[in-house]
């Protein structure tokens, strides 16, 4: 246990640089749809300010990413292993 939460000891903890790189990847992916990128940032802000729960954040991001495997995989890097988004069709 790490701080009362379960984590996979083999999963590296993401850094701030990882977070910035992921946000850039989302921005680049949605370069033709600025609103989706802004929606993503709003979801992250709402989570950070505790306006939404972690589960609501995950659901909103999953819906926004619309099955994009690369972006979902990148998002999983920031989740505890037991909350990772599984492969979707």
| Domains with residue ranges and CATH for the chain | 16-78 (1.20.1160.11)
Are 54 and 47 contacting, i.e. CB atoms less than 8 angstroms apart?
yes
How many whole angstroms separate alpha carbon 75 and alpha carbon 33?
19
User: Does the pLDDT at position 80 exceed 70?
Assistant: yes
The pLDDT score that the predictor gives to residue 85 is: 85
Q: How confident is the model at residue 47 (pLDDT cuts 50, 70, 90)?
A: very high
User: Does the pLDDT at position 87 exceed 80?
Assistant: no
The pLDDT score that the predictor gives to residue 8 is: 65
């Amino acid at each position: 246990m790490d701080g009362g939460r379960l984590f996979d000891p083999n999963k590296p903890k993401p850094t701030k640089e990882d977070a910035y790189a992921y946000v850039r990847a989302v921005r680049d992916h949605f370069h033709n749809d600025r609103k989706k990128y802004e929606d993503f940032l709003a979801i992250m802000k709402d989570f950070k300010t505790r306006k939404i729960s972690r589960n609501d954040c995950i659901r909103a991001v999953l819906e926004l990413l619309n099955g994009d495997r690369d972006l979902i995989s990148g998002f999983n890097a920031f989740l505890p292993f037991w909350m990772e988004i599984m492969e979707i069709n």
